[in-house]
Amino acid sequence: MSTRRETVRQALTESSGFRSAQDLYADLRSEGSKIGLTTVYRALQALSDSGEVDVLRTDDGEAVYRACITDSHHHHLVCRGCGKAVEIEGPMVERWADSVGTQHGFTDITHTVEVFGTCADCAAAKG
Amino acid sequence: MSTRRETVRQALTESSGFRSAQDLYADLRSEGSKIGLTTVYRALQALSDSGEVDVLRTDDGEAVYRACITDSHHHHLVCRGCGKAVEIEGPMVERWADSVGTQHGFTDITHTVEVFGTCADCAAAKG
DNA sequence: GCGGATAACGAAAACGGTTGTCAAAATCCG
DNA sequence: CGGATTTTGACAACCGTTTTCGTTATCCGC
């Protein structure tokens, strides 16, 4: 009876990038769903166990999830001052991730890259 | 009066690798110190703020600290089946992240890289 | 359809690491 | 010594996550 699990999977797939369980819960509730937080967590755990989503931790310990898409993607260069994000591409990095994974006998390789910095404006503002 | 901060710094320096705040607290208590958990956290936070220790998060969200002002920045290749993690290095990626950030006028650049895959064992087990 | 076993659900409580509160103790300065 | 300031640590609050447990929905043999 994985209707709820499907719902969560879909919500995650539709949103790009990483979402926290609480984010997804808020999203679903605001869409009118009566899903419970517990179920969101359970679904994410199940999806994670079966390898359908990737999980990692933010700096403040929150778990964030991403639908596991092997499809090509881009990354973001995020300003830690104002949050401005620039889309960046790194074919070199894609190749590197694949090759390093393959070297260790891993298959079905995906990766995430986040680059953080202080943008020119914020650097200037800060003095 | 930063004897306590010194104590924590020293405890961290003496132990190799990553330790959690709770670990350090337990260590210090077992050595007879009457330090409080709050103080350990405060000291670690201060040390982290001043860049004297590195912080990261374990898979279950616990913060771990390492006295290390230097090198050994590495990433992880994580199996999405069994969770096994392999430490990987990618000087190329480090350089790429720096250069792409600089190109966009960003300074003070950091980055995170996570590579996910299915390890040989799990691929075999799964069929 | 009907009824009971089974699985999924969700509200609320429990949990564990972390952070905040606040009064007591230590330190500093005059 | 005495008062201002800082540091400390017991304790409570917090927050994301997990567990509990009673309710509800689904499945399956009749």
Q: B2 falls in which pLDDT band (50, 70, 90)?
A: low
Report chain D positions within 7 A of protein CB atoms: 6-11, 16-20, 25-27
Q: Residue positions of B in the annotated binding site for Zn(2+)? A: 79, 82, 119, 122
Do A112 and A78 fall within a single domain? yes
Q: Does residue B76 reach within 7 angstroms of strand D, measured from its CB?
A: no
Q: Do both B90 and B126 map to the same domain?
A: yes
Q: Strand pairing partners for B114?
A: A112, B76
CA–CA dist B29, B115 (Å, integer) = 38
Query: Does the structure show a pLDDT above 90 at A88?
Result: no
Q: Quick: pLDDT tens for A7-57.
A: 999 898 887 778 999 999 999 999 888 899 999 999 999 998 888 888 888
Q: Please report, for the domain that includes residue A118, its CATH number.
A: 3.30.1490.190
Query: In the sheet where B19-20 sits, what is the strand order?
Result: B19-20, B63-67, B53-57
Asked if A56's CB is within 8 angstroms of B106's CB, the reply is no
Residue with CA nearest to D10's C1' atom: B36
Specify the number of domains making up chain B.
2
pLDDT score recorded for residue B24 = 94
Q: What is the pLDDT of residues B59-112, one digit of tens each?
A: 788 898 887 544 456 787 877 776 677 878 888 898 999 999 999 999 888 787
CATH number of the domain enclosing A60: 1.10.10.10
Q: Indicate if A36 and A85 belong to the same structural domain.
A: no
Cβ-based contacts of B57 with chain A (< 8 Å):
57-59, 61
What domain range is A36 assigned to?
A: 1-68
Percentage of residues in chain A with pLDDT exceeding 90?
A: 30
Give B48's contacts (C-beta < 8 A, 6+ positions apart): B54, B55, B65
Closest to B20 (Cα-Cα) out of B51, B58, B49: B58
Task: Report pLDDT for B61.
Answer: 85
**Each residue of A32-43: pLDDT tens digit?**
888 999 999 999
CA-based R_g, chain B, Å: 18
SS3 label, residue B40: helix
Q: Is the distance between the Cβ of A30 and the closest atom of strand C smaller than 7 Å?
A: no
Which residue among A19, A44, A68 closes a domain?
A68
pLDDT in tens, B39-71: 999 999 998 887 788 787 887 888 988 875 444
Q: Which residues contact B5 (CB under 8 A, 6 or more apart)?
A: B43, B46, B47
CB-based contact B111 A110, cutoff 8 Å = no
Same domain, A79 and A111: yes
Strands (E) across B2-106 are located at 19-20, 53-57, 63-67, 75-79, 85-88
